[in-house]
A = this chain, B = another copy of it.
Amino acid sequence: MEDFSYVIDTFFALFAMTLIIFMVPGFAMLEAGLVRTKNVSAVLTINVMIYAVASMTFFLVGYSLAFGSWENSAMSMYAAFLFQMAFVGKTVNIMSGGVSERVRMIPLAIFTVVMAALIYPAVVNVSWGADMLEGTFLDLNMYDLAGSTVIHSTGGWALLAAILIMGPRRGRYVEGKIRVIPASNIPLVVLGALLLWIGWFGFNGGSVGSIASKESADAVALTIMNTNTAGLAGALIAGIIMYVRYKLFDITMILNGALGGLVAITAGPDLYNMYVPILIGAVGGALVVFAVPLFDKLKLDDPVGALSVHLVNGIWGTLAVGLFVSDISFFDQLKGVVLIAVFVFSVSYGVLKLINGFFPYRADDEAQLEGLDVTECGVEAYPEFKRAI
């Protein structure tokens, strides 16, 4: 029977990991669809770079810092690593997406190393891992099954620091007006968002950690069902709000609503009964719809809505566990949110500032005008297609 658990849980971790890896093309397609055609190759290159750099760094350095050791008796230690490795790039994906169309490659690659080697492993260490804060007054008791805070807010706080340092895209806020820059390829946006959605089943389902008993099989299935329900509710509420306001269905907002719901459920998908996720996801979707214009008013230029989806809902989802689950202390959840916010934002800000001194993050106006595909990659995304604008 011990062999049975070991085999099944290794297999299940590999299955879950594979689903999460579909989030690599997921993020890549989503962002490639949302930016202008002249920055598509750059965004895609960044996504591949993040997977390569973050995963390799986590393999060589970060994983040991987060978990203390590779040893694992419950399943194959290689499968346990692969599952965790599939997560790490996501934090940088969230950050890089929000500074699309102006961020340069080399300094982003350097920050990716720091995130995967130090910042993210430190967050994991105190939340899920070896727990270096145990016994101190900073010790976290936050419940965060699959990373509303550990992944999504972490990426979000790093993004906020990056936006503050880099500023908005050239021409985005001119003479007090917000210039709308439409997404260039909606099929890619939809494909990417749906791949992310599917990847979330592995993200959250796999985070239960085992499927090898009746109880854990139920927990995994409930987790995936609740995850999906929250995504559905987020999409529905975003669609309804858009229709009520504009009599139009903006698919990019609907999908961001879905992603907001998915982020929000991620802290506790195993804890809720089957109807609560409707509420969690609906609030998550609504938060996205209201946060997107708010960040624009604050001139925090975020071409893909990552602050609204990941940061706002990472916070909401983590606090929601404290609100809706009787055994969980709201204070502990809040403490986790705040401490990780302070740590990630301040360290990211410092590191980004430091790197920025040597390798400036922001592409200059000329490069932004020409498009980063030419200046960073030397590869146009659609060279044979005539541009209308």
| B48 in contact with A251 (CB, 8 Å) | yes
| Residues 368-389 (chain A) with a chain B CB within 8 angstroms | 376-389
| B40 in contact with A186 (CB, 8 Å) | yes
| B213 in contact with A7 (CB, 8 Å) | yes
- A18 contacts which chain B residues (CB < 8 A)? 19, 198, 201
- A7 contacts which chain B residues (CB < 8 A)? 8, 211-214, 217
Whether A255 is near chain B, meaning CB under 8 Å from some CB there, is yes
- A: interface residue count bin: 35 or more
Most buried by B among A37, A106, A229, A248: A248
| Residues 222-238 (chain A) with a chain B CB within 8 angstroms | 222, 224-225, 228-229, 232-233, 235-236
* CB of A206, distance to nearest CB on chain B (Å): 11
Q: Cα distance A262–B258 when bound, in Å?
A: 31
Q: Cα distance A15–B211 when bound, in Å?
A: 13
Check A44/B184 contact, CB under 8 A, given A194-B25, A232-B56, A388-B384.
no
| Residues 1-60 (chain A) with a chain B CB within 8 angstroms | 3-4, 6-8, 10-15, 17-19, 21-22, 24-25, 28-29, 32-33, 36-37, 40-41, 44-45, 47-49, 51-53, 55-56, 59
Q: Cα distance A51–B232 when bound, in Å?
A: 8
| B382 in contact with A186 (CB, 8 Å) | yes
Whether A218 is near chain B, meaning CB under 8 Å from some CB there, is yes
Q: Cα distance A383–B62 when bound, in Å?
A: 42
- SS of A interface (majority): helix
Number of copies of this chain that the complex holds: 3
| B194 in contact with A52 (CB, 8 Å) | no
Whether A249 is near chain B, meaning CB under 8 Å from some CB there, is yes
Q: Cα distance A195–B384 when bound, in Å?
A: 24
Whether A185 is near chain B, meaning CB under 8 Å from some CB there, is yes
Considering the complex, give the chain B residue whose CB is closest to the CB of A186: B381
A254-269 interface mask toward B, CB cutoff 8 Å, 1 = contact, 0 = none?
A: 1100100000000000
Q: Cα distance A33–B379 when bound, in Å?
A: 13
Considering the complex, give the chain B residue whose CB is closest to the CB of A251: B45
| B198 in contact with A28 (CB, 8 Å) | no
Q: Cα distance A52–B17 when bound, in Å?
A: 25
| B47 in contact with A190 (CB, 8 Å) | yes
Check A248/B377 contact, CB under 8 A, given A11-B211, A213-B3.
yes
Give the contacting residue for A221; candidates B14, B22, B36, B211; CB below 8 A.
Answer: B14
| B383 in contact with A389 (CB, 8 Å) | yes
* CB of A255, distance to nearest CB on chain B (Å): 7
- A243 contacts which chain B residues (CB < 8 A)? 106
Whether A67 is near chain B, meaning CB under 8 Å from some CB there, is no
Q: Cα distance A356–B199 when bound, in Å?
A: 38
- A45 contacts which chain B residues (CB < 8 A)? 249, 251, 254
Considering the complex, give the chain B residue whose CB is closest to the CB of A56: B232
| A383 in contact with B379 (CB, 8 Å) | no
Considering the complex, give the chain B residue whose CB is closest to the CB of A4: B4
Q: Cα distance A40–B251 when bound, in Å?
A: 11
- A188 contacts which chain B residues (CB < 8 A)? 187
| B254 in contact with A32 (CB, 8 Å) | no
Not counting A21-B201, A77-B221, A186-B379, a sample of 15 additional A-B residue pairs whose C-beta atoms are within 8 angstroms of each other reads A3-B213, A7-B8, A10-B221, A28-B190, A41-B186, A45-B254, A53-B236, A59-B232, A78-B218, A82-B221, A185-B381, A185-B382, A186-B382, A248-B379, A384-B389
Interface CB pairs A-B, < 8 A, 12: A6-B214, A21-B198, A28-B194, A29-B190, A41-B186, A41-B251, A48-B194, A48-B254, A76-B217, A182-B383, A186-B381, A248-B377
